[in-house]
Amino acid sequence: MDIDTVIDNQATKATERKGLSADGVTMGVGVIVSWLVAIALALFGVGSGRGLPIVLGVLLIIAATIVGVGLYMLQPNQAAVLTFFGDYRGTDRTPGLRWTNPLYRRNKVSLRIRNFNTSTSKVNDANGNPIMVAAVVVWQVVDTARAKFDVDDFVHYVTIQAEAAVRHMARSYPYDSFEDTHVVTLVGDVEEVNQSLTTELQERLGAAGVTVLEARLTDLSYAQEIAEAMLRRQQASAVVAARKKIVEGAVWMVRDAVTQLEQGATDDDAIPLDPDRRATFAANLMTVIASDAPTSPVVNVGTLAR
């Protein structure tokens, strides 16, 4: 049995359910009224010299105080996890003044959307090149029971798992493929890489009752020790690609020029070329078009006959 199976068997696997709670405003008004009645009974007992009203007033104050302990406040997008001597009794997500069993312990959990920026880490990509990578993760708690009971500290859990997922993702893809355009790369296929990171994070963070809304790379570059060499390689690849386009265009232009010269607009202005002259003309025209520097043509004005 592998370690993942052991962990799955030992985990609590808590599932959120609705907790028993009531409107706190009604209970709060009742507590205040009870206190006022208790004070009135105590004063009446003191004024009349009777002990029974005083005892009733004291008991009513104690009861109202105990009931008042069950009052708590929830902000919008906030939940209270209710436990009774360690036993999970449900979650209250209703905002406002709430009331529940005074013996219940109430742990508040934020349901707001949060974001976390991973630290910039140095890792090796799929080709073994050291790169610097960082990401931002947007997440939200959706299951308060799993967030509180299935992991020790769900915020710390999200932090550690996000760092691990970013490192694993960076090792799964090459930074750049240069000539191979069919390979998914970190720099060339950003959307696919971000989606892969989001999927992996959701698999990791689902155990904590967290959903990943978005994950994307925010920092991606070669490590300093190879950045200059890789920059030269990228520049060389760009130069080769540009020269290839220039040569392809030059070949098309030379072929079209030779065809138009030999065909001409009419039979009278056609210029037939023998194979040697055609080759010389094509070579000279290719030199003019594909050359990086301006050409200096040499015009042959004839030969001296003796």
**Which residues does residue 212 pair with via DSSP β-bridges, in sequence order?**
139
pLDDT of 98 reads: 94
132 and 221 Cβ atoms separated by less than 8 Å: yes
126 and 95 Cβ atoms separated by less than 8 Å: no
Q: What is the DSSP letter of 236?
A: H
What is the torsional sign of CA 260, 262, 266, 268? positive
Instruction: Write the pLDDT tens digit of every residue in 41-60.
Output: 888 888 777 788 888 888 98
- 302 vs 85, residue with greater confidence: 85
Instruction: Write the pLDDT tens digit of every residue in 191-239.
Output: 999 999 999 999 999 989 999 999 999 988 887 776 566 666 666 666 6
pTM of the model: 0.69
pLDDT of 227 reads: 57
The encoded tokens of residue 47 equal 């004024």
Task: Give the residue-averaged pLDDT of 120-143.
Answer: 90
Q: Is the pLDDT of residue 6 over 50?
A: no
pLDDT of 126 reads: 86
- What confidence category does residue 1 fall into, taking pLDDT thresholds of 50, 70 and 90? very low
Instruction: Write the pLDDT tens digit of every residue in 178-192.
Output: 666 678 888 888 899
- What confidence category does residue 140 fall into, taking pLDDT thresholds of 50, 70 and 90? very high
Amino acid at 3: I
Average pLDDT, the chain: 83
3 state SS for 187-209:
CCCHHHHHHHHHHHHHHHHHHHC
177 and 49 Cβ atoms separated by less than 8 Å: no
What are the C-alpha distances in Å from 209 to residues 136, 146, 199, 240, 265? 19, 5, 15, 51, 78
β-bridge pairing 96-99 and 210-222: unpaired
